[in-house]
Amino acid sequence: MIKNLIWDFDGTLCNTYPSIIRTLKASLKDFGYIVDEKEILSKVKITLGEAFDYYSNKYKLGEKLSKRFAQYTRLPKERPPYNFVVEVCELIIDRNGANYIITHRDRKSTFEILNYYGLATFFEEIITADDGFAKKPDSEAFNYLIKKYGLNRDETLGIGDRELDIKAAKNAGIKSCYFDEFGMPTETKPDLEINSFLELLQLLENGL
């Protein structure tokens, strides 16, 4: 039975993709480039850094693109949690388990969003880019949580929406869950694949 969840943040816990895609599209448009949203999504799904590198190199923008992106207002209300995320977190806590977050996002913006939606209290520990761990797919942050809290690997599930999330969970020796909102399969096969968090909630309620 799964008692512990290690969540990714962007595109998993909170629906940040629409805002990120709109902002990156607008930033590129400011420099005179019209880019299809599906193409932007395919780059952002790798990492946001990958998207910046790709478009900065393609259009020879250097750091101007990331600076323009940062100038746009990033409001927490544009980054809501996915439906049934709260119910999943509550179920895990009711099992005497715990929820954790490992994200490449900085601490300030992570907590701005979590606190805006009243989510921070659902998590035992939240690891952000500011904590200095190696980035996923490296499992360093996962192993830190497993050791610190004495987590049973067989009872721990890592949830994410990207290839690197699945690889990180597997590298840590825990079960992996791929949240496939857009119908974009990964090369690395996850232990579990879901299209919504209602689906995960029902699986947990039925004994996962």
The structural domains of the chain, with segments of one domain joined by +, span 4-15+79-205, 17-77
Q: How does pLDDT run along the chain (208 residues), one tens digit per residue?
A: 999 999 999 999 999 999 999 999 999 999 999 999 999 999 999 889 999 999 999 999 999 999 999 887 667 788 999 999 999 999 999 999 999 999 999 999 999 999 999 999 999 999 999 999 999 999 999 999 999 999 999 999 999 999 999 999 999 999 999 999 999 999 999 999 999 999 999 999 999 9
Question: How far apart, in whole angstroms, are the C-alpha atoms of residue 140 and residue 148?
Answer: 12
Three-state DSSP at 169 gives: helix
Helices then strands, counting H and E runs in the chain, come out as 9, 6
- Record the pTM: 0.90
Domain at 4-15+79-205, CATH homologous superfamily: HAD superfamily/HAD-like (3.40.50.1000)
Residue 124 near residue 148, CB atoms below 8 Å:
no
Can you read off the two tokens belonging to residue 196?
Answer: 């919504």
